[in-house]
Amino acid sequence: MRTTPVFTLCLFLMGQVMLWAGSPSDYFGAKPGALAKSKSSYLGGREPELTAVNKIITDANKCLKAEPESVMDKTKVPPSGNKHDYMSIAPYFWPDPSKSNGLPYMRQDGKVNPESKNEENSDRVRFGRTLDRIETLALAYYFTREKKYADHAAKLIKVWFLNPDTKMNPNLNFAQAIAGRTDGRGEGVLDTRRMGLVLDSANLISNTSDFTEANQKALIQWMTSYYDWLMKSPNGKAERAATNNHGTWFDVQAAHLALGLGKKEDAKKIIEAVRTKRIPAQIESDGKQPEELARTASFSYSCMNLDAFFTLANLGEHAGVDLWRKNNKDSRSLRKALDFLLPYINQPPAKWPYKQIKEIDESNMLPLLRQAALAFDAPEYEKIIKKFDEAPKERFQILYRK
């Protein structure tokens, strides 16, 4: 897209009228202030925000064609007898070949059982798809002010969370079930680890006629009930006690929801505990993450856990807690964990010395590199990003910036 000076001026003037739409200050999935600055850059026709937002708009146009989905779409009924209850199947458990009925299922770490992706039995894929669409549509609305995006995002939210005939009950009692073992377990909380983005997205469309104040209040009520379940239920408590990525992502989900629900002190306590609870237990002084290195996809899980830590550090910026800096006497830190992984994505990459049964997706590191470049004022991380051709289109360009 080429812009003339007149066209750029028109976009800028439009932006002064449009910047009020939505409330990016409460979009906790982005660095504080990043969305407003990105919108100004986009309306001014500047890169890389122009390319990144255009990609969001392209994706949002595809989302407009998608019909709303709900927990009622599955054919299997949860053990409660209520299809409004979310259910999913543990991905790494398979039938026991030594048993005629295959029960109880046996764990094969890293090897995904196709049953876990069967949408007749499970809501996990459907929920992930719905969350992605809600976020994409809300961002497209924020940047373009085109109501069609807000209207469709509102429809998706209302069908999944609010409409009496289709809404999900606010619990994960039957998430990540294992045939012959359990109807649901704490690990299922990982399915909804980015639940806070629903509140962020709803905030961006809250000024539209199709997502009324009553809708916003109803969603807050639903999320408050879910937050209470998360913090008090046996499954939630089990996940919180986990000492690997499951525990880290629990903290992400709880802190993000707490911020979105106006429980800033709750969020602050959760994030502050990461300094003494998560980092010392999960990151060694040389940056290794032992719990993740023990997995069959050790690089992928190391990156996934670090993503959770970086997300917590970003949430900490909203809560007034600094997780980026040195936190322990023995120098265990998020930066050490990132630097441990860097040789294996640089060009040419070093050979990963641990077990990794699937291909490494280096692009998963790009948002982490951008956040590190900003947090530590370290241009060396930005240099690595520039080696990836797809980087200008990635969403981190608008979520994490000065």
Domain segments of the chain as ranges? 5-73+128-171+192-399
Question: Taking phi first (over 0 means left), then psi (-120 to 50 degrees means alpha), and beta for anything else, what does residue 351 get?
Answer: beta
Task: Quote the pLDDT of residue 23.
Answer: 61
Task: Quote the pLDDT of residue 22.
Answer: 52
Q: Are 222 and 195 in contact (CB under 8 A)?
A: no
Q: What is the pLDDT of residues 316-341, one digit of tens each?
A: 999 999 999 866 556 899 999 999 99
Structure token pair of residue 64: 């407009």
Alpha helices in 47-123 (DSSP H): 49-63
Q: What is the pLDDT of residues 223-264, one digit of tens each?
A: 999 999 999 999 999 999 999 999 999 999 999 999 999 999
Distances in Å between the Cα of 138 and the Cα atoms of 36, 125, 188 are 14, 20, 26
Per-residue pLDDT in tens (0 to 9) along the chain, 402 residues: 444 544 444 444 444 333 334 567 789 999 999 999 999 999 999 999 999 999 999 999 999 999 999 999 999 999 999 999 999 999 999 999 999 999 999 999 999 999 999 999 999 999 999 999 999 999 999 999 999 999 999 999 999 999 999 999 999 999 999 999 999 999 999 999 999 999 999 999 998 999 999 999 999 999 999 999 999 999 999 999 999 999 999 999 999 999 999 999 999 999 999 999 999 999 999 999 999 999 999 999 999 999 999 999 999 999 999 999 866 556 899 999 999 999 999 878 899 999 999 999 999 999 999 999 999 999 999 999 999 999 999 999 999 999
CA dist., res. 399 & res. 27, Å (int): 9
Who contacts 397 (Cβ-Cβ below 8 Å, separation ≥6)? 38, 48, 49, 51, 52, 370, 391
Alpha helices in 212-278 (DSSP H): 213-232, 234-240, 245-260, 264-273
Structure token pair of residue 38: 């990105």
Q: Are 104 and 156 in contact (CB under 8 A)?
A: no
Q: pTM for this structure?
A: 0.93
Who contacts 252 (Cβ-Cβ below 8 Å, separation ≥6)? 193, 194, 196, 308, 311, 312, 315
CA dist., res. 116 & res. 111, Å (int): 11
Sign of CA dihedral 363, 54, 14, 138: negative
Q: Write the CATH number of the domain with boundaries 5-73+128-171+192-399.
A: 1.50.10.100
Q: Are 153 and 137 in contact (CB under 8 A)?
A: yes
Task: Quote the pLDDT of residue 3.
Answer: 47
Distances in Å between the Cα of 117 and the Cα atoms of 114, 125, 159 are 5, 6, 21
Quick count: other Cβ atoms within 10 Å of Cβ 43?
23
Q: How many residues does the chain have?
A: 402
CA dist., res. 227 & res. 260, Å (int): 11
Angle, vertex CA 256, rays to CA 253 and CA 257, nearest 5: 85
> Residue 156: which H helix or E strand, with range?
helix 147-157
Task: Quote the pLDDT of residue 181.
Answer: 98
Q: Write down the residue that tokens 């008090």 correspond to.
A: 232
